[in-house]
Chain A
Amino acid sequence: MPAVLEIATLIYLFLFSCYHIITGVISVFFPNFAIRFYKMLYGFHPKETEQLKMTLRPWGNFAIVTGVIGFMVLYNIDRFFLILFPFALLLSIRIWYRLELRSQLYRDLKVTKLQNWRMIIIQLLGAVLFVWFAFSLL
């Protein structure tokens, strides 16, 4: 794998792990702030927030776990590189439902097409880098 792509993968993995820990912590402990944060980050404008806050807590737990495991991979990538495949699967699922349910996303959560495609491209980049990197170590 070219060095520049290797560095790009490691930077992506670092940001991916930070993102999950930060969003996980705010979702679990500061759900009101989390909703404002997601409005800013994703452009979500939820109509109802009580159920959303209750859903954010269990999601936040799993996000923290994902972030911590991300740092474990980063710390010893030769040992844990296989975990990059589930990370790529996670990003692929997120891309899939952003595409599959895009009309709902635009209509019900008021996300713009630009905001949706921006996230899809970021996630696609990560999925490709993770799979490429993991295959290069197989």
Chain B
Amino acid sequence: MASNKHQSLKILLWIVAVYHIGLGLLGIFAKDFAVTLAKNFFNFNLTLTDQTYWIINPLAAYILIFGVFMALAAKDPVKYKNVIYVGVVLFAIRVLQRVVFFVTAPEGLVSNIDPIRNIIMLVVVAIIGIAMFVMAKKVK
């Protein structure tokens, strides 16, 4: 019974974990694909130069490790409840930054993908963050 107690939260955390681990691995091992990832997931026109080829590495490593933190939390949400809250804060910052990016980023750096798609992604990230927060609050 106890293991089924936080099933929805665990499923959500596993999705977040697999997504970040996958994104991190692609950033480390498939850098050519990173341009597509940056465009679709961060709305950022990345030009793959020798310099950016190097700079993607730390970002990808930290994305991957965040996925591992979420996997640990998915294994035991009670023990790692505070880690989940840290993840929620990250999601909130990402939503805010995405909005700020639209407003302040130089035109050439913003990718030209559909603005409706951007808004949908923003809403999805916000919903995941809120769902994590609400479900984590119920964890005892």
Contacts and interface: CB of A to CB of B under 8 A. Distances in A.
Interface of A: 28, 46-48, 50-52, 54-55, 57-59, 61-63, 65-66, 68-69, 72, 79-80, 82-83, 86-87, 89-90, 93-94, 97, 101, 104-105, 107-109
A90 B61 contact: yes
A54 B54 contact: no
B58 to A, nearest CB: 6
Contacts of A59: 58-59, 62
Q: How large is the interface on B (under 10, 10 to 19, 20 to 34, 35 or more residues)?
A: 35 or more
A94 B59 contact: no
A59 B44 CA distance: 14
What does DSSP make chain B's interface, helix, strand, loop or mixed? helix
A109 B51 contact: yes
Interface in B30-54: 42, 44, 46-47, 49-54
B51 A101 contact: no
Given A46-B51, A72-B83, A97-B28, A54 B56 contact: no
A108 B50 contact: yes
A61 B97 contact: yes
B79 interface: yes
A107 B52 CA distance: 13
Contact of B82 (A57, A72, A94): A72
A108 B109 CA distance: 22
B13 interface: no
Contact of A63 (B46, B52, B62): B62
